[in-house]
Amino acid sequence: MRKPAKLNDTANLLKTAAGKIERREETDAMKDFMKDFVDYAKAQGSTSPEKYYTNLTTRAIWVLKNIIQI
């Protein structure tokens, strides 16, 4: 079990900020991919391809938490 980060701990704050930036880059890449995929899925008959983005990001977070142990 990890201890919560102290607000005055600069190293932890920098690590958190870097993690947020990295996560934003990942989700932006997923959004770009999903724009093209949604059009394709609609053409194939999908009735709600917008939900794929939520599923994709949920699974990515699960992998990070359970396999990588962040």
pTM: 0.48
User: What DSSP designation does 68 have?
Assistant: S
Phi and psi, residue 9, nearest 5° = -85, 100
Per-residue pLDDT reduced to its tens digit, 10-61 = 888 888 888 888 888 877 887 888 888 888 888 899 888 878 878 877 888 7
Q: Do 38 and 50 contact (CB within 8 A), yes or no?
A: yes
Separation of alpha carbons 32 and 34, rounded Å = 5
Angle at 57 between CA 65 and CA 69, to 5 degrees: 10
